[in-house]
Structure 1
Amino acid sequence: MGNGANGALSGAVIAVAGAGGAAGRATLLRLAGAGATVVASDNDPERLAEAVDAASFASGGATVTGDTVDLLDLQSTHEWAAHIEKDFGRVDGLVHLVGGWRGSETFTKTSLDDWDFLELLLVRTVQHTSLAFHEALQRSDRGRYVLISAAGATRPTAGNAAYAAAKAAAEAWTLAMADYFSKAGGPDGPTSAAGILVVKALVHEAMRADRPNAKFAGFTDVEDLAEAIAGIWQKSAAEVNGNRLWLTEKP
């Protein structure tokens, strides 16, 4: 992979929240390889540093930096957005990869403790990143807010009530942000966009190695997700804004 100096995202400044996991690592690599300046965050400093170092090395020294940010703290999230714009002069994207799952055997065994956990992880972090970044994204000529969601938000299963409800709430919040971009664009249409990439679930090499006989039917590989994320900036704002873009079969 080259340094992406002349890549499709050359000059873009993109923040990635929840960058320390497998999907985050793949996304950092893809965005940096396309020429973007990437500012990653995670709540685990060691995991974040490993992801940032790997992306920087693999992309030939592209600008990839990391910040340990508490996305459950609105002020800290605002400060993160402000310092990115101050340091790099612009913010062209926020990719929201913060994830987590809890479920139950049946609907009746659902624990509301799971909802309390997932509401913070999957909803509150979306609220905070969207509120912190929306003005900077609107100032960009190619601002994009990208939420990764799950097919279960559209068709919940009995054992995933808390997870599906949290994902659905995150989607609704993101679509409200899309309405803000639509109204800000006026009659000419939006110049910035908030969109949703929908997967069934994600899979990566380590999962396949641990379960060599598993089919992972309908799952999206993290490298394919990263490719789809990078492709968001190749679409017009109107194509992305307020839309669910499906990477798995639509239920």
Structure 2
Amino acid sequence: MGNGVLRGAVIAVAGAGGPAGRAALVRLAEAGATVVGADNDPARLAEAVDAARYANGGATVTGETVDLLDLDSTRAWATGIEKEHGRIDGLVHLVGGWRGGATFADTDLADWDLLEKLLIRTVQNTSLAFYDALQQSGNGRYLLISASGAAKPTAGNAAYSAAKAAAEAWTLAMADGFRKAGGEEGPRAAAAILVVKALVHDAMRAERPNAKFAGFTDVKDLADAVAGVWNEPAAEVNGTRLWLTEKP
């Protein structure tokens, strides 16, 4: 991290058990942050936490099984982190999920029901639960990982793109809250969106050695971009989209 801005920071990672979550835990721990991961799959979460600890001997990385679809559980998670560590400097939202079809006409609305929970409700709950602590941090960041499809939906991705667009709008409303709270001095915390086309990781490459994954973002590069957001002043990143792929 160069200037060590994350040394001693307390960062929560929602969706820590997936490939992007694992990469984020490793990168943030490497930068000297205390990292607290949450996932709904205890085994996957334990594996991710162990990997991050192993990669960074002595790093403080912990995991908690949290139901992010439940606001009370999410608030309890945030309160617990603050009680234990005295502060919260970030929430990285990596809860993902994809459902889609080949054409617009064969869209299954059951896909929407699932994606609304995974991609929107988890954003609503984490943003509401962590807002006050991030506002008080002095360098708080709420980071949503989104997809370029939110800006340019394709026919078979109506449910996914609409859910991502809603999550983006919600995050930008949070950013406006930080802006208003900051008054003339500018926001003390920031909510921002990192936009990818799709993510790729080593296991995917191993499974499909001939695939090009054109325009995809490696989870390690995403983790670098996430860590880098704390280096930028809150006023410069609040309410912005950071494009890690070409704008559509």
Fold conserved (TM > 0.5)?
yes
Cα distance in 1, alignment partners of residues 210 and 170 from structure 2: 38
Task: Show structure 1 runs of 5+ residues with no match.
Answer: none
Equivalent runs, 1:189-200 vs 2, <5 Å: 189-200=186-197
Percent of aligned pairs with the same residue?
Answer: 76
Q: Which amino acid aligns with 1:141?
A: G
Match of 1:154 among 147, 151, 154: 151
Cα distance in 1, alignment partners of residues 104 and 51 from structure 2: 41
Cα distance in 2, alignment partners of residues 56 and 206 from structure 1: 20
**Structure 1 residue matching 2:138: 3-state secondary structure:** coil
Equivalent runs, 1:47-196 vs 2, <5 Å: 47-196=44-193
Cα distance in 2, alignment partners of residues 29 and 110 from structure 1: 37
Cα distance in 1, alignment partners of residues 42 and 101 from structure 2: 31
CA RMSD of aligned residues (A): 0.9
Contact kept, 8 Å, 1:14 with 1:37, in 2: the verdict is yes
Cα distance in 2, alignment partners of residues 249 and 150 from structure 1: 11
State yes or no: 1:243 paired with 2:240.
Answer: yes
Match of 2:6 among 6, 9, 34: 9
**Structure 2 residue matching 1:83: 3-state secondary structure:** helix
- Give the TM-score normalised by the residue count of structure 1: 0.97
Q: CA deviation at 1:104?
A: 0.6
State yes or no: 1:20 paired with 2:41.
Answer: no
Q: CA deviation at 1:8?
A: 3.5
Equivalence for 1:213: 210
Q: CA deviation at 1:60?
A: 1.1
Contact kept, 8 Å, 1:17 with 1:97, in 2: the verdict is yes
**Structure 2 residue matching 1:15: 3-state secondary structure:** strand
Contact kept, 8 Å, 1:7 with 1:33, in 2: the verdict is no
Q: Which amino acid aligns with 1:61?
A: G
- Deviation track 1:155-182 (CA, whole Å, cap 9, x = no partner) reads 0000000000000000000000000000
Cα distance in 2, alignment partners of residues 206 and 52 from structure 1: 18
**Structure 1 residue matching 2:92: 3-state secondary structure:** strand
Task: Show structure 2 runs of 5+ residues with no match.
Answer: none
Cα distance in 1, alignment partners of residues 8 and 205 from structure 2: 35
Q: Which amino acid aligns with 1:152?
A: G
**Count of matched residue pairs:** 247
- Deviation track 1:179-198 (CA, whole Å, cap 9, x = no partner) reads 00000000111010000000
Cα distance in 2, alignment partners of residues 223 and 55 from structure 1: 13
- Give the TM-score normalised by the residue count of structure 2: 0.98
Runs of 4+ displaced beyond 6 Å: none
